[in-house]
Amino acid sequence: MESNGYSDVVSQQASLDAAAPVDQTHKGCGAAGGSGRASCGSSMAPEDMAPGVWEKVKNHPCYSEEAHHHYARMHVAVAPACNIQCNYCNRKYDCANESRPGVVSERLTPEQAARKTLAVASAIPQMTVLGIAGPGDPLANPEKTFRTFELIAREAPDIKLCLSTNGLALPDYVDRIKDLNVDHVTITINMVDPEIGARIYPWIYYRHKRHTGRDAAQILHERQMQGLEMLTERGILCKVNSVMIPGINDRHLVEVNKAVKSRGAFLHNIMPLISAPEHGTVFGLSGQRGPSAQELKTLQDRCEGQMNMMRHCRQCRADAVGLLGEDRSSEFTTEKVMEMELTYDGAARRAYQTAVEGQRHEKAAAKEAELRDLDGRGGDIAILVAVATKGEGRVNEHFGHAKEFQVYEANAHGVKFVGHRRVDLYCQGGYGEEEALPTIIRALNDCAAVLVAKIGGCPRATLKEAGIEPVDACAYEFIDAAVLAYYKSYIDRIEKGEITHTHRGDAAIRQGAYVAA
């Protein structure tokens, strides 16, 4: 078992036990070899990630699927201007690269943003990352963006700073980014071929001129690559986001993956295009569709062998506050924040973070035990299992209260997170919404089971009919261990001839803004 390495940061972080095999299809340490790094057995970092990089990302709620159960980030909307136009964006709303189309966040001045950040960090010790991602492009608003970072760094130096950009202005600001100690930058890169770029970007504004067509895409491409290289040279972590647009860049993203990896990006996050006519975007109006869940997963799987893929991105709204997927922004409106008494308590925050470390180790041990128990049974059989959770890495959400389900893939060698599915709340004010159930079933259609803390009799029967087994036997257990236990029972039942393994179909990705109720 010591020869199994990981290419997938998600499964790696979910395990924390470096010696446990996770996915047989990944190359082992031996095969990857020659990097001169510590062996898998002694290093927790995935094989294609430099050790220093792993240190920086393991607690980052945006980059570590495992950490996002425990830590939180927030975004402040201080940057309304943009310097390019994307066909999936309607600029009445927030930048579609980091949030959902159709969402407008409250615009803040740098001073308001800094105050809001401190208020949230004081109330929520999990809040460890502050990001600027819009509503437009942070680097098209450099003064507002950097002023916000300066104010926060002065008051709360323990908070990590990050920003997301389309990359056009990036080379001009890399040194300022470095000086301000910003250690995470996300660039949205949808193409490395200007012909394809011309179908995604109608124009850019660069050096006092509007460029269109291939010319625009060529400039944008060169600036993105240059910016990425400059970040890598300076040791600043860089993640790449790509929007998967079927028929335009879906196959091309494999090339994008190679190009960004060779320039030092440590994660590549492929997001589905979210497109509907009511968003008023060029793609929405032209009927350009987004990918299905299986199309997205297939592309992510194709890219995975080459670098760390990030699958838990929720394309959350730019001013979201709280753990990923849980939004507490209404507690921190500008009005409320301006009236709050602020005391920034670094010690309380550190105490929380220490407690979390303990839990994470407990969780790893539980998974380890299940894996030993499974003992490689199951052969080639892989299944997807949906989980209802509200954090801490446990199966702890009621089916009817889940706004999204996390989807895990289990096979004979382990379990890994593969994505999340947003759904409409089934239970609104205590009674089940009958229209919501078919939507949930469509979203989970490729899963064999759904693990929940609790579920009512009616949805239970309907799920069973649809071939999705509802399971509440593992309520409040750690997710990885619970998914593996389910897999084991699944294999047991196959061996006893009680059930047969069938390939389940595809599932739908919900269109629309992620706005927590």
- The verdict on 117 binding another protein (CB under 8 A) reads no
- The verdict on 241 binding ligand SF4 (CB under 6 A) reads no
* 469: enclosing H helix or E strand: strand 469-471
Q: Report the half-sphere exposure of 304 (CA within 13 A, side-chain side).
A: 24
- Tell the smallest beta-carbon distance from residue 105 to ligand SF4 (Å): 12
- The verdict on 318 binding ligand SF4 (CB under 6 A) reads no
Selected range binding ligand SF4 among 81-89, 220-228, 302-310, 504-512, rule: CB under 6 A: 81-89
How far from chain centre, in Å, is Cα 193?
26
> Is the Cβ–Cβ distance between 82 and 167 less than 8 Å?
no
- Tell the smallest beta-carbon distance from residue 201 to ligand SF4 (Å): 8
Q: DSSP for 379-429? A: TT--EEEEE---STTB---BGGG-SEEEEEEEETTEEEEEEEEE---SEET
- The verdict on 227 binding ligand SF4 (CB under 6 A) reads no
Total residues at interface with another protein (CB under 8 A)? 16
Show the DSSP H helices in 124-244 as ranges: 142-155, 170-179, 194-197, 213-233
Residue of 205, 218, 334, 501 interacting with another protein (CB under 8 A) = 205
Nearest to 1 by CA among 21, 27, 22: 21
Residue of 11, 83, 148, 165 interacting with another protein (CB under 8 A) = 83
Query: Closer CB to another protein, residue 210 or residue 361?
Result: 210
- The verdict on 67 binding another protein (CB under 8 A) reads no
**How far apart are alpha carbons 46 and 6 in whole angstroms?**
5
Place of tokens 């407008």: 104
- The verdict on 91 binding another protein (CB under 8 A) reads yes
Total residues at interface with ligand SF4 (CB under 6 A)? 12
Residue of 22, 84, 192, 482 interacting with ligand SF4 (CB under 6 A) = 84
Selected range binding another protein among 84-92, 151-159, 348-356, 430-438, rule: CB under 8 A: 84-92
- Tell the smallest beta-carbon distance from residue 82 to another protein (Å): 7
- The verdict on 137 binding ligand SF4 (CB under 6 A) reads yes
- Tell the smallest beta-carbon distance from residue 92 to another protein (Å): 5
Selected range binding ligand SF4 among 95-103, 256-264, 413-421, 480-488, rule: CB under 6 A: 95-103
* First-to-final CA distance of the chain: 45
Sign of CA dihedral 8, 10, 16, 22: negative
Residue 129 φ then ψ, to 5°: -135, 135
- The verdict on 188 binding another protein (CB under 8 A) reads no
Secondary structure of 203-227 in the HEC alphabet? EEEECCEEEEHHHHHHHHHHHHHHH
Selected range binding another protein among 82-90, 185-193, 225-233, 436-444, rule: CB under 8 A: 82-90
Residue of 15, 97, 128, 300 interacting with ligand SF4 (CB under 6 A) = 97
User: Choosing among another protein, ligand SF4, none, which partner's interface includes residue 86 (Cβ < 5 to 8 Å by kind)?
Assistant: ligand SF4
Sheet of 321-323, strand order: 267-272, 237-244, 184-188, 160-165, 127-132, 72-75, 321-323
- The verdict on 285 binding another protein (CB under 8 A) reads no
- The verdict on 99 binding ligand SF4 (CB under 6 A) reads no
> Is the Cβ–Cβ distance between 456 and 462 less than 8 Å?
no
Can you state the angle between helices 142-155 and 110-123, rounded to 10 degrees?
40
How far from chain centre, in Å, is Cα 158?
22
Residue of 14, 95, 253, 307 interacting with ligand SF4 (CB under 6 A) = 95
Query: Closer CB to another protein, residue 278 or residue 357?
Result: 278
Contacts of 262 (CB under 8 A, 6+ apart): none
Selected range binding ligand SF4 among 31-39, 91-99, 254-262, 303-311, rule: CB under 6 A: 91-99
Selected range binding another protein among 3-11, 80-88, 319-327, 338-346, rule: CB under 8 A: 80-88
Nearest to 229 by CA among 257, 255, 264: 264
Q: Give CA separation, 120 vs 77, 124, 320, 487, in Å.
A: 15, 6, 11, 39
**How far apart are alpha carbons 320 and 487 in whole angstroms?**
35
User: Choosing among another protein, ligand SF4, none, which partner's interface includes residue 494 (Cβ < 5 to 8 Å by kind)?
Assistant: none
Residue of 2, 19, 80, 151 interacting with another protein (CB under 8 A) = 80
Place of tokens 């409409």: 424
- Tell the smallest beta-carbon distance from residue 338 to another protein (Å): 19
Query: Closer CB to ligand SF4, residue 189 or residue 468?
Result: 189
Residue of 14, 57, 72, 82 interacting with another protein (CB under 8 A) = 82
User: Is the peptide bond between 101 and the residue preceding it cis, with omega within 30 degrees of 0?
Assistant: no
Q: Which amino acid is at 25?
A: T
- The verdict on 136 binding ligand SF4 (CB under 6 A) reads yes
Token pair listed for 136: 């437009």
- Tell the smallest beta-carbon distance from residue 368 to ligand SF4 (Å): 42
- The verdict on 320 binding ligand SF4 (CB under 6 A) reads no
> Is the Cβ–Cβ distance between 203 and 211 less than 8 Å?
yes
- The verdict on 81 binding another protein (CB under 8 A) reads yes
Q: Report the half-sphere exposure of 269 (CA within 13 A, side-chain side).
A: 24
Query: Closer CB to ligand SF4, residue 81 or residue 153?
Result: 81
- CA 319-322-323 angle, to 5 degrees, is 120
Selected range binding another protein among 132-140, 213-221, 326-334, 402-410, rule: CB under 8 A: 132-140
The residue ranges that bind ligand SF4 (CB under 6 A) are 82, 84-86, 89, 91, 95-97, 136-137, 166
The residue ranges that bind another protein (CB under 8 A) are 80-83, 85, 91-92, 135-136, 140-141, 143, 205, 208-210
